Structure 1
Amino acid sequence: MMNWVKFIVAFLLFLTLFITVIVLYNANKPFSSVQNKAETIAMKNGSLQSVDHAEIYNGTISMITVYGKDADGIKKAVFVDEKTEKVLDEVVLKDGIDAQTAVETVKSELQMKKILHVALGLEEGHPVWEVAFKSENGKLNYVYVFFENGEWWKRILNL
C-alpha cells in the first residue's frame, strides 16, 4: 500500500514538472520567434554582421532592439519595427550612454527600491533608455533618458 502512495506522489510531481516546462516553453515561443526574425532582418539589412542579443521594447510602437557588431567591428544597436519588419534606425553604442549610466542618472534624483528593467528604444525619432523601477513606496515608475547625452526626457511616476 505504501509503495502505491509513493508511486502516485512521485508520478504527480513528475507530471506537474513536465506540464510546467511545456507551458513555459510554449509561452516563450512568440518572443523567441520575433527576436530571431528581428536579428535576421538586422543582418540582412547590412546593419549588423554579428548579433549579441535582442530585447523587446514596448513604447509608442513595439520594436526589437538588436545588439551586435557591424562589418567594421563597431558595436551597434539596431531598432526593428515588429509590425512592418523594417529597420527604423541604428545607433553606435559608444556614441551614447550605457544602461548603467542611465540608471545612475535616475538614481541621482529618485529613490529606487527595485529596478524592473532598462531597455533601449526609439521614442519620437530619438533613442532613449527606458528605466522601469519600483520606488520606496512600492509604486511603479518609468523614466526615459536620452541615449545621446543622458538628459531626462519624460517621467511617469507613482503608478
Structure 2
Amino acid sequence: MMNWVKFIAAFLLALSLIITVIVFYNANGPFADARQKAESDALKSGALTSVDRTDIYNGTVSMVTVFGKDGEGNEKAVFIEGKTGEILDEVEMKDGIGAQAAIETVKAELSVEKILHVALGLEDGHPVWEVAFKGDNGKLNYVYVFFENGEWWKRILNL
C-alpha cells in the first residue's frame, strides 16, 4: 500500500512540474514572437544591419526597441510598433545617454533598493528611458528620463 502512495505522490509531482514548464513556455511565446518579428523588420527595412538585443516597451504605444548597428557601424535603437511592425523612429546611441547613466540619474535623487528593469521607449515623439525599481520602502516606482539629455520627464512613485 505504501508503494502506491509513493507512486501517486511522485506522479502528481512530475505532472505538476510538466504543466508548470508548459505554461511558462507558452506564456513567453508572444514575447519571443514579437521580438523575432521586430528584429526581422529592422533588418529588412535596412535600418540595422546587425542586432545586438531587443527590449519590449509598454507605454502609451506598445513597441519593441531593437538595438544594433547600421551599415556605417553606428550603434542605433529602432522603435517598432508592436502590432503593425511599422518603424516609428530611430536614434543613434551616441546622441543620448545610456541605460547606466539613466540609472545613475535616478539613484542621485531617489532611494533605490533594487532595479527591476531599464527599457528605452518612445513617448510623445521623444525617446525616454523607463527605469523601474523598488524603493527603500519596498514599493514599485517608475521613472522616465529623456534619452537626449538625462532630464526627468515623468515619475510614478510608491505603487
Question: Structure 2 length as normaliser, TM-score?
Answer: 0.93
* 1:3 CA drift (Å): 2.8
**CA distance in 2: counterparts of 1:106 and 1:24, whole angstroms:** 32
**CA distance in 2: counterparts of 1:69 and 1:12, whole angstroms:** 49
Structure 1 residues 1-159: aligned runs within 5 Å: 1-159=1-159
* 1:95 CA drift (Å): 2.1
Alignment-mate amino acid for residue 71 of structure 1: G
**CA distance in 2: counterparts of 1:67 and 1:34, whole angstroms:** 14
**CA distance in 2: counterparts of 1:39 and 1:127, whole angstroms:** 19
* 1:99 CA drift (Å): 0.7
**CA distance in 1: counterparts of 2:12 and 2:139, whole angstroms:** 39
Alignment-mate amino acid for residue 112 of structure 1: V
Of all paired residues, the percent bearing the same amino acid is 72
* 1:139 CA drift (Å): 2.4
SS of aligned partner of 2:97: coil
Which deviates the most, 91-100 or 20-29?
91-100
**CA distance in 2: counterparts of 1:9 and 1:74, whole angstroms:** 57
Write the deviation string for residues 37-61 of structure 1: whole angstroms up to 9, x where unpaired: 1111111110111112211101111
* 1:132 CA drift (Å): 1.2
**CA distance in 1: counterparts of 2:2 and 2:145, whole angstroms:** 62
Alignment-mate amino acid for residue 33 of structure 2: S
**CA distance in 1: counterparts of 2:11 and 2:71, whole angstroms:** 53
Unaligned runs of 5+ in 2: none
SS of aligned partner of 1:108: helix
* 1:13 CA drift (Å): 1.7
Runs of 4+ in 1 over 3 A off after TM superposition: none
Which deviates the most, 17-26 or 71-80?
71-80
SS of aligned partner of 2:7: helix
Alignment-mate amino acid for residue 21 of structure 1: V
